[in-house]
Amino acid sequence: MPTPHSHPPSTAALPAEAPPKTEALLRDPNAIALEQSRLELQHERGVLRRLLEIQEEERQLVSYEIHDGLAQYIAGAIMHLEAHLHAHATREPEEVVEGLRLLRAAAEESRRLIGGLRPPALDELGITEAIESLVADARIEIPQVTFTHGESGDRLPTALETTIFRLVQESLNNARRHAEAGSAHVTLQRVPGGMRVCIRDDGRGFDPAKVPENRFGLEGMRYRCRLAGAEPRIESAPGKGTVIDVVLPLKPPRA
């Protein structure tokens, strides 16, 4: 029986022992610093991934605005002028013919802008159709551009399709603008656990160690691949062309 000043034994649960990993962190300052760095890197990757998602959403919105607004007005004007010329086939006013030429040029420019921002084919039809459109555009400046794939039309995760599209887009743009390539080849191949993307060109090549700081294309490709959980292989040398090769996992790492 307890005395007036005694207290019954406490039934409150004692604090659980810290897991061995936590104890090690508390004892080792280096481990604490490493864990903090890991968490900061994880946070930065999450922020960067979200920024890229926002950028893609904005590009999609602008491309749809051009497609559903400006491009439709241009197409309507072309149809009206063509109908006018057809009704007056014996006489084609020079001003109308020139107006048609300018409108067709504007229609082509709007199509190019839509494709550069985010082509509707990427969201509506999938990555293979979107790459086909990139290849068709590249053939304007590169004599031989080919695309091989083994896809059946099944859709890939949206983020993965976007990463693949941007890699191919940037690689072909580099081949057109900087490499003076005569040919290029794009390969999209399903492999265990992921998708292999390879872009080759026979352009003038470059030294990867001497890329100017104001050229962000290659670094942008590396960032996109790393966010997707992969490391691209970039091979090039002066006069040897360029190869961009990467296997992107179907499931990206956690942010």
Structural contact between residues 195 and 189, judged by C-beta atoms closer than 8 angstroms: yes
User: 72-75 contacts: CB < 8 A, separation 24 or more?
Assistant: 74/103, 74/106, 74/107, 74/110, 75/107
- Per-residue confidence (pLDDT) for residue 203, from 0 to 100: 92
Q: pLDDT for 115-151, tens place per residue?
A: 666 777 788 889 999 899 889 888 888 989 999 998 7
179 vs 55 pLDDT, higher one: 179
The total number of residues written for the chain in this structure: 255
Rounded Cα distance between 8 and 11, Å, is: 9
Q: pLDDT for 51-94, tens place per residue?
A: 667 666 676 666 666 666 777 777 788 887 888 777 776 676 77
Q: Per the structure block, which two tokens stand in for 85?
A: 């010329």
- Per-residue confidence (pLDDT) for residue 183, from 0 to 100: 95
Average confidence (pLDDT) over 201-213: 83
Structural contact between residues 128 and 149, judged by C-beta atoms closer than 8 angstroms: yes
Average confidence (pLDDT) over 161-170: 91
- Per-residue confidence (pLDDT) for residue 14, from 0 to 100: 46
Average confidence (pLDDT) over 5-22: 50
- Per-residue confidence (pLDDT) for residue 64, from 0 to 100: 63
Q: Given a cut of 60, is residue 160 above it in pLDDT?
A: yes
φ, ψ dihedrals at 194, nearest 5°: -170, -170
